[in-house]
A = this chain, B = another copy of it.
């Protein structure tokens, strides 16, 4: 898919604030309301914009302890991989999970309240999953950057 400069700016603006009115966007882009409206609709219909979501402040909902957990499976049989992935998807503490190359098979981003909750999560949820050989947790000291915005 090809985007001109106006589309790129529009996508940037919408990634920063999805609640802007078409009127505001038309002013920022130097276009008419109709033109902006049609571009936005096109990007939505194309699936370039997949959804609009509210982003919560993790400090205000007691979920500001972030852990990056590296997981190795005992084997890479398709059955094991599928089952592990299915189970991980259902863990609400796991915000992201990537199947990766390298020393570990998966890297999980986990959000909980504090170390006690994490201990609890490990004991009652993660380590009860099947086919896990080992895990290695990296605790977040600080969140340097954490955005959903992709610059085109």
Contact = CB atoms under 8 A, between A and B. Distances in A.
B60 A47 contact: yes
Stoichiometry (number of copies): 2
Contact of A18 (B18, B88, B95): B18
Contacts of A146: 95-98
A61 interface: yes
Interface residues of A, number: 61
Contacts of A147: 95-96
Contacts of A61: 1, 3, 11, 48, 150, 152
Contacts of A143: 97-99
A126 interface: no
Most B CB contacts (10 A, CB to CB) among A15, A99, A100, A144 go to A144
Interface in A1-38: 1, 3, 11, 14-19
Interface string A83-108: 00100110010111111111010110
A102 B136 contact: yes
Contacts of A128: none
B99 A53 contact: no
Interface in A90-138: 92, 94-102, 104, 106-107, 111, 136-138
Nearest to A139: B101
